[in-house]
């Protein structure tokens, strides 16, 4: 009986170590996609085909701590040798509040804008030590013959849009801080907003994108010229708290009438070949 106690304790420790951290930030608002998918529409870019966007997952999902995939993508692009230090605050209660989803919907005009529109605000609790956050987001994308994971940072923007966008691993359209002389833009940084902008995929294919977006705090700040003031001269410490998962699939397939015509045509050819074999 005495020998069983250490075993039980060992198993209990393993279970506790494997249990995800409890989130101090909750998810609220319009978390379910509305609409979760757009109706298939005739595609002007690919005549004879229809296209639509579909939210995957259909509901925004709360992430209590950063995934191993996210840490790998972030660490591959931003190195400690360049001064970046990432601290994962699993279970830390310095940040309390809610991620309020104002918008999560599929979008498709098939003229250059497909995907998802999402708008999420961080609303701190009264006793939250962190009132303002910076967003850091990563994504994976796949279509036939292609699979990649990237940070959704300034480098993902077209060159013409990079001036004025935030540097580093941060989502590019946000303020660093309200207090001058720190860098200012016209974007409200406690709000994460991403609008659709993907092209229609090649017919007969599906393009998939999955995102993880996290609220962070850091101990430095950007200047108007884009340089970083390293407060404390101990590197650029970024502290990661809770986040959320979202994404979408893009479809482009032949119109139903086109498929029916193709099927009847193939059936006709098959019948003709069978008749030829009997002759």
- DSSP of 131-151, one letter per residue? ---EEEEEEEEEETTEEEEEE
- The answer to whether residue 19 sits within a structural domain is no
Domain count, the chain: 1
Q: What is the pLDDT of residue 165?
A: 76
Task: For tokens 């190195």, name the residue.
Answer: 79
Domain enclosing residue 146, as ranges:
28-269
Residue 223 Ramachandran class (φ > 0 left, ψ -120 to 50 alpha, else beta): beta
Q: What is the pLDDT of residue 194?
A: 92
By the 8 A CB rule, do 213 and 135 touch?
A: yes
Whether 263 shows a pLDDT value over 60: the answer reads: no
Alpha carbon distances (Å) from 114 to 22, 39, 110, 209: 35, 12, 6, 12
- The answer to whether residue 64 sits within a structural domain is yes
The answer to whether the bond into 150 is cis (omega within 30° of 0) is: no
* Residue 22 or residue 271, greater confidence: 22
Tokens of 50: 């229809």
Average pLDDT score over residue span 226-243: 90
Band of pLDDT at residue 3, cut at 50, 70 and 90: very low
- The answer to whether residue 77 sits within a structural domain is yes
Q: What is the pLDDT of residue 188?
A: 52
Q: What is the pLDDT of residue 265?
A: 37
pLDDT above 90 as % of the chain: 59
- The answer to whether residue 127 sits within a structural domain is yes
pLDDT above 70 as % of the chain: 78
By the 8 A CB rule, do 190 and 121 touch?
A: yes
Q: What is the pLDDT of residue 179?
A: 61
- The answer to whether residue 10 sits within a structural domain is no
- The answer to whether residue 20 sits within a structural domain is no
* Residue 210 or residue 158, greater confidence: 210
Whether 262 shows a pLDDT value over 50: the answer reads: no
- The answer to whether residue 117 sits within a structural domain is yes
Closest by alpha carbon to 53, among 203, 246, 207? 207
Tokens of 206: 């599906």
DSSP β-ladder status, 97-108 and 25-29: parallel
Q: Taking all residues of the chain, what is their mean pLDDT, rounded to a whole number? A: 83
Q: Which of 89-98, 100-109, 179-188 has the lowest mean pLDDT?
A: 179-188
Whether 176 shows a pLDDT value over 90: the answer reads: no
Question: Is the entire prediction scored with pTM above 0.75?
Answer: yes
The two counts, helices (H) then strands (E), for the chain are 3, 14
Model confidence pLDDT, tens digit, residues 41-94: 999 889 999 999 999 999 999 999 999 999 999 999 999 999 999 999 998 999
Q: Which of 19-23, 214-218, 247-251 has the lowest mean pLDDT?
A: 19-23
Residue 57 burial (CB count, 10 A): 16
Q: What is the pLDDT of residue 177?
A: 59
Whether 129 shows a pLDDT value over 80: the answer reads: yes
The one-character DSSP state at 40 is: P
Give the C-alpha separation, 133 to 241, whole Å: 10
Phi, psi dihedral angles at 215 (to 5 degrees): -85, 135
- The answer to whether residue 131 sits within a structural domain is yes
Band of pLDDT at residue 157, cut at 50, 70 and 90: confident
């Amino acid at each position: 009986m005495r020998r069983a106690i250490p075993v039980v304790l060992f198993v209990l420790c393993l279970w506790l170590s494997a249990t995800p951290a409890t989130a101090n930030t909750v998810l609220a608002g319009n978390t379910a996609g509305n609409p979760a998918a757009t109706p298939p529409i005739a595609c002007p870019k690919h005549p004879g085909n229809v296209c639509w966007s579909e939210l995957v997952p259909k509901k925004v999902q709360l992430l209590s701590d950063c995934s191993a995939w996210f840490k790998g993508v972030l660490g591959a692009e931003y190195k400690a040798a360049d001064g970046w230090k990432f601290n994962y605050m699993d279970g830390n209660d310095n940040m309390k509040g809610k991620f309020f989803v104002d918008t999560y919907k599929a979008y498709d005009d098939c003229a250059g804008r497909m995907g998802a529109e999402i708008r999420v605000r961080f609303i701190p609790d009264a006793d939250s030590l962190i009132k303002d956050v910076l967003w850091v987001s990563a994504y994976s994308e796949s279509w036939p013959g292609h699979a990649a994971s990237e940070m959704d940072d300034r480098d993902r923007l077209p060159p013409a849009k990079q001036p004025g966008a935030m540097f580093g691993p941060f989502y590019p359209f946000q303020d660093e801080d309200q207090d001058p002389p720190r860098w200012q833009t016209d974007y409200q940084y406690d709000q994460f907003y991403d609008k659709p902008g993907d092209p229609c995929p090649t017919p007969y294919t599906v393009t998939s994108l999955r995102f993880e977006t996290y609220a962070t705090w850091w101990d430095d700040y950007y200047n108007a010229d884009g340089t970083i003031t390293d407060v404390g001269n101990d590197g650029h410490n970024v502290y990661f708290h809770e986040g959320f998962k979202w994404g979408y699939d893009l479809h482009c397939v032949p119109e139903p009438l086109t498929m029916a015509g193709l099927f009847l045509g193939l059936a006709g050819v098959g019948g003709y070949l069978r008749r030829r074999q009997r002759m």
